[in-house]
């Protein structure tokens, strides 16, 4: 379990409050990140805050701006932004319940594990979990954290509960605008039967461990290979040596 909870508080259902802790259910383990390096020295590139025609500027001269039109900004002080942030609350009210399949997949953004905060909370926690599973419903509410309100759903997952952050309606593109030109007619029957046959043949239980990002795997192999010469120095030194090895010129 993670050492630090993303959120701690109570899930409230009418008069019942359940103390819980919420932890991220995902991690960015597959991604490979790079830094830009100055090859001659092997040092990372630093970035300066600069203004065109002015040059580098001090941090205390920087404000945040919302662009109304090209080059036209509304300037905001950090104190003004802080003043409109939503106060973090320690209660998640479940204000509505919907069918488990009523939320379009496009709205799901990020999952979190929800666990009871202590032994005393376990019974009420189990009651909510089992009630959601029995009714095949998903609970909805708004979680206030880090100055913002997040639309969230709550549903059973194995012996526990999973909270999923949902996108708001204005964050999701309408599918009709992309699919409106596609034909609505039924596909050719023979082609349809062939597609169904192939799907049936390739149907199997989902095993996520069997799938890998081959690009990321190849990057890791490349990095491991580049690390090997560093036993007697650094890989940067090796590159520098190759760059400095120039062909000899004959003297006349």
Q: Which band of pLDDT confidence, cut at 50, 70 and 90, is reported for residue 30?
A: low
Q: For residue range 123-160, list pLDDT tens digits in order.
A: 999 999 999 999 999 999 999 888 889 999 999 999 99
- Cα atoms found within 13 Å of the Cα of residue 70, Cβ hemisphere only: 0
| Bridge pairing between strands 43-44 and 37-38 | antiparallel
As its CATH architecture, domain 7-26+85-171 has Beta Barrel (2.40)
Cα distance between residue 63 and residue 30, in whole Å: 35
Q: Which two tokens mark 225? A: 């290979």
> For residue 156, which phi and psi values (nearest 5 degrees)?
-70, 150
Q: b/e for 219-233, b at 16 or more Cβ within 10 A? A: eeeeeeeeeeeeeee
Cβ burial of 162 (10 Å; 0-12, 13-18, 19+) is middle
Q: Which residues contact 103 (CB under 8 A, 6 or more apart)?
A: 138, 153, 166
Residue 28 scores a pLDDT above 80: no
Query: Domain segments of the chain: what residues?
Result: 7-26+85-171
Q: By mean pLDDT, which of 30-39, 72-81, 139-148, 235-244 is the weakest?
A: 235-244
Q: Which residues contact 192 (CB under 8 A, 6 or more apart)?
A: 186
Q: What was the pLDDT predicted at 248?
A: 47
Q: Which band of pLDDT confidence, cut at 50, 70 and 90, is reported for residue 1?
A: low
Strand partners, 73: 67
The DSSP H or E segment spanning 162 is strand 160-166
Residue 18 scores a pLDDT above 70: yes
Q: Is the pTM of this model over 0.85?
A: no
Q: Which band of pLDDT confidence, cut at 50, 70 and 90, is reported for residue 116?
A: very high
**Cβ pair 112, 164 in contact under 8 A:** yes
Q: What is the DSSP letter of 249?
A: P
Residue with structure tokens 């996520």?
208
Q: Which residues contact 219 (CB under 8 A, 6 or more apart)?
A: 32
Question: In the predicted model, what is the mean pLDDT of the chain?
Answer: 85
Q: For residue range 168-193, list pLDDT tens digits in order.
A: 999 999 888 888 888 877 788 898 89
């Amino acid at each position: 379990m993670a050492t630090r909870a993303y959120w701690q508080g109570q899930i409230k259902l009418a008069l019942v409050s359940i103390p819980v802790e919420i932890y991220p259910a995902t991690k960015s383990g597959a991604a490979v990140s790079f830094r830009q390096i100055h090859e001659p020295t092997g040092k990372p590139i630093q970035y300066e805050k600069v203004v065109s025609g002015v040059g580098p500027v001090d941090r205390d001269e920087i404000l945040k701006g919302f662009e109304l039109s090209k080059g036209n900004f509304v300037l905001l002080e950090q104190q003004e932004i802080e003043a409109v942030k939503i106060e973090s609350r320690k209660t998640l009210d479940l204000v509505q319940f919907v069918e488990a399949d009523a939320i379009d997949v496009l709205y799901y953004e990020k999952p979190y594990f929800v666990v009871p905060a202590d032994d005393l909370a376990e019974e009420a926690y189990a009651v909510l979990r089992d009630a959601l599973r029995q009714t095949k419903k998903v609970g909805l509410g708004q979680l206030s954290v880090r100055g913002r309100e997040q639309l969230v759903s709550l549903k059973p997952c194995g012996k526990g509960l999973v909270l999923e952050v949902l996108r708001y309606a204005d964050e999701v593109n309408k599918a009709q605008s992309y699919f409106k030109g596609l034909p609505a007619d039924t596909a050719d029957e023979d082609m349809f039967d062939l597609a169904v046959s192939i799907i049936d043949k390739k149907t199997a239980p989902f095993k996520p461990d069997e799938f890998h990002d081959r690009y990321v795997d190849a990057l890791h192999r490349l990095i491991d290979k580049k690390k090997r010469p560093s036993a007697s120095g650094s890989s940067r030194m090796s590159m520098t040596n190759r760059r400095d090895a120039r062909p000899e010129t004959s003297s006349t």
